[in-house]
């Protein structure tokens, strides 16, 4: 989970890691890198304004291996 400020273009900036699970596995730093690419979709912009601080969940999903 990241805590970030919303930009005028509905991206995010000034993010920091609030929590990561499991801890110490590198997911927090990876989420910070991904946050640079985030733009909030239209459905998530309702009630959000530039400058507002939000919690941004970043979920990682392992690919399904086909045997």
Q: How far apart are CA 61 and CA 9, in angstroms?
A: 27
Average pLDDT over residues 33-62: 94
Domain parsing of the chain, residue ranges: 1-40
Q: Give the pLDDT score at 62.
A: 83
What is the pLDDT averaged over residues 10-33? 95
Q: Residue 56: how many CB atoms within 10 A of its CB?
A: 19
Whether residue 12 has pLDDT greater than 90 = yes
CA-only gyration radius of the chain, Å: 13
pLDDT at 56 over 80: yes
């Amino acid at each position: 989970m990241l805590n970030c400020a919303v930009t005028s273009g509905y991206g995010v900036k000034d993010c920091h890691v609030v929590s990561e699970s499991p801890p110490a596995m590198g997911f927090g730093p990876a989420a910070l890198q991904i946050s640079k690419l985030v733009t909030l979709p239209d459905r998530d912009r309702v009630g959000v304004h530039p400058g507002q601080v939000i919690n941004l969940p970043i979920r990682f999903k392992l690919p399904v291996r086909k045997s």
